[in-house]
Amino acid sequence: MSCNIPDRAYDQAMKNRRPLPALFTARAALVLAWAALLSVPAFAGQTHSAVPGGEVRLEGPVKAGQPVKAVFDLKGYALPAGAYAAINVEFTAHPEGAKPEVRPGYPETVMTFDRPGTYSVLLLLNEISKGSCGGVSAKPLLDAELDVDVAP
């Protein structure tokens, strides 16, 4: 089955498209080859990257109440035209109380931890694109599991 959409209609449809909710992108995450995560005293964990050398690092002081950036570095890889990045953040373990505040974004996701302690954070970065005839394609770019020690 093929899609016969006139060029003008296709162009207009592409201008009016909306990003998919995180629920769809979360289901698209796949397990990738294991790679070592650079060592930083504030966290330890594992990274899987479809982009050679791709990594995520924390920038800023890791203290309760202070925002910290999770920076995705894909070593020059650029998203193709028409595609966008989808970030999912899950806390698999955290101290009692509310989960940290998260403002997902690419190339930086900002997290604010409300209390000191050890947190386990799963960060998923996917490339999302949509064909002209429907359907969605999700390409996992990077996922990292971090153990973050938050100071008071």
Per-residue pLDDT of the chain (152 residues; tens, 9 = 90+): 445 555 565 566 556 665 545 444 434 332 222 222 222 333 446 777 788 889 999 998 999 999 999 999 999 999 998 899 999 999 999 998 888 999 999 999 999 999 999 999 999 999 999 877 778 889 999 999 999 999 99
Closest CA to 129 of 115, 141, 144, 111: 141
For the chain, the C-alpha Rg in angstroms (whole number) is 18
> Kind and range of the H or E element at 56?
strand 55-59
Domain around 28: 7-150
* Residue 14 covered by a domain: yes
Instruction: Tell me what pLDDT residue 13 has.
Output: 58
**34-36 and 43-49 as β-strands: parallel, antiparallel, unpaired?**
antiparallel
DSSP secondary structure string for all residues of 84-137: EEEEEEEEEE--SSSPPEEE--SSEEEEE-SS-EEEEEEEEEEEEEE-TTS-EE
Instruction: Tell me what pLDDT residue 41 has.
Output: 32
Instruction: Tell me what pLDDT residue 14 has.
Output: 58
* Residue 66 covered by a domain: yes
Model confidence, pTM: 0.66
When divided into structural domains, the chain yields a total of: 1
* Residue 1 covered by a domain: no
> Kind and range of the H or E element at 60?
none
* Residue 101 covered by a domain: yes
* Residue 2 covered by a domain: no
* Residue 45 covered by a domain: yes
* Residue 121 covered by a domain: yes
